[in-house]
Amino acid sequence: MYKVKEFDSTLERRIVIGMVVSDDFLSEAQTLFQPEYFRVPTLRTAAGWCIKYWGEFGKSPGSHFQDIYESKRRTGEVPDEFTEELEAVFSSLSKEFVENPNLNPRYLLKQMEQLMRSRSLLQLGEDIVALASQDKVDDAELSLSQFKPVRREGISWSNPFDLSDNQMEDVFKEGDALFRFPGPLGELIGPIERDSFIGLQAPEKRGKTWFLWEFALRGVLNRCNVAFFSVGDMSDVQNWRRVFGWVLRSSKRWGGKETLVPVMDCKKAQKGECDDCDQEPVMTSDGKLLPFDQAPYHQPCIKCLKDDPYNFIGSRWYKRELIPDYSPGKARQLLANLSKRCAGKTIRLQCYPSYQANVRKIRTMLDIWEKRDGWIADMVVIDYADILAPEDEREAETRHRINTTWGTLRGLSTERGIAVITATQAAKTSYTKTQQDTTDVSEDKRKLGHVTAMIGLNQTPEEKKSKLMRVSNLIVREDDFDSRRNVVCLQCLEMSRPLLGSFWLK
């Protein structure tokens, strides 16, 4: 049996998985791959098969990979001493892909390029040392002069008038979306994509943490690995309570009690102008709703939403509901069911005291999880950026420190090909406003230059009492937007739910 030196082959295995299952990855990986830099012979062989398949068919082998192996084995192209090891590797590759079906091709390509560059330099160094030690100086210098660095095609520059077919596909294909919120909120925010950097802006105690957890939980339920970094406001236990409350639709304080829960309704029905439901009006001429208890006869109607969604005029009504018990037994059962839906994806929560962690420490933790556990984040949520420690203590001015932090967070999203979601406190000017705008950015307006989108959470005291939150786009980098346009979110924090439904404010 061919003996391989002991070393961590995790990255080589991940590269082969990418070659097997991803057209996007294999299209660029085949230009980087140099077999002499793969240390595991079986993985080197498997990678070669994938590249040959690409050359013949222009796509990754996918489910045909096992057929390729069986064919090679029958024709004797697989050495006997490799057969047992190859079968073990293929079985392992299959298991790893089932557990991690959503690869991140762009990040994996960066890792592969780094691996190829590192291995090529190490081999060059060994060759030069060996030749120089034998006094073959001319040969050593020749090896150095002929060395060609390993680089991805077009890594330094590109001509937009002369793009390759693969580059053209990148321009016109749909974005690499991780998930999208349902309903009008999803229309407002758009898909949550890799490489995105999204900020939530609101005054104090407007529910920023609730919404950050909404992003995280919807991310993992859409089969994303989510890293949640809480950096000062809340402890582990307080964060766990948010998660368990969301799962149970309950809370520690309200479990087993009754409360009013907002539900979607139609203004036409509330005005008595709906032909489909023919109800008595519950809205006065000045647009105010009757108190819920004074109109027990009213039944919410959303037939227009289904039949003609663009002409639907949303509103809210209420129903009295018993909050489920807040108990560990029920939570375990529901979490087990949700884990199956997540298909092996998880949330990793890491808590730090205020100003004790910066982006550098977050990046280090992500690297540790990847190298130690093979766990790669698709999305990073940080609660919240304003209380991260400085990246450079030598920067004297607070606003420069904050600018560096936000710029470094943007770098984190692009270098790892992930979505980064965080929050920021709005300036004092927002406290008396009904609607935030870009003048309400706190400390340093350059935050807006780093994010791909800044989302405003708007809520008056009356709206808070009515369990409503208005969400607006303060700025969006790659799309048209109107900062005055709002989506109304129905929420019930007694049920740990900041988003029960949404409608456009008309």
Contacts with 324 (C-beta within 8 Å, 6 or more apart), sequence order = 248, 249, 250, 255, 256, 330
177-255+325-504 is a CATH 3.40.50.10260 domain: no
Q: What is the mean pLDDT of the chain?
A: 86
CB atoms within 10 A of CB 113: 17
Stated pTM of the model: 0.79
- Residue 4's pLDDT band (cuts 50, 70, 90): very low
* Amino acid, single-letter form, for residue 351: C
Distance of alpha carbon 399 from alpha carbon 446, whole angstroms: 9
Asked whether the predicted pLDDT for residue 178 surpasses 80, the reply is yes
Asked whether the predicted pLDDT for residue 94 surpasses 50, the reply is yes
Instruction: Among 68-72, 201-205, 225-229, name the most confident range.
Output: 225-229
Q: Are 490 and 498 in contact (CB under 8 A)?
A: no
Number of helices (H), then strands (E), in the chain: 18, 13
What is the arithmetic mean of pLDDT over 269-297?
Answer: 85
For the chain, give the longest Cα–Cα distance. 100
What's the confidence (pLDDT) of residue 358?
93
State whether residue 37 is helix, strand or coil.
Answer: helix
* Amino acid, single-letter form, for residue 406: W
What's the confidence (pLDDT) of residue 42?
83
> What are 467-486's pLDDT values in tens digits?
999 999 999 987 888 888 99
Is residue 318 within a helix (H) or strand (E), and if so which, with residue range?
strand 314-322
Domain segments of the chain as ranges: 10-112, 177-255+325-504, 259-317
- Residue 92's pLDDT band (cuts 50, 70, 90): low
Asked whether the predicted pLDDT for residue 50 surpasses 50, the reply is yes
Q: Are 193 and 178 in contact (CB under 8 A)?
A: yes
Cα–Cα separations (whole angstroms), residue 425 to 202, 211, 456, 460, 487: 6, 14, 10, 16, 20
Q: Are 304 and 503 in contact (CB under 8 A)?
A: no
What is the arithmetic mean of pLDDT over 171-196?
Answer: 87
Distance of alpha carbon 428 from alpha carbon 442, whole angstroms: 8
What is the arithmetic mean of pLDDT over 153-176?
Answer: 68
Asked whether the predicted pLDDT for residue 20 surpasses 90, the reply is no
Structure tokens at 76: 């004797």
Angle 182-415-190 (CA atoms, 0-180°, nearest 5)?
15
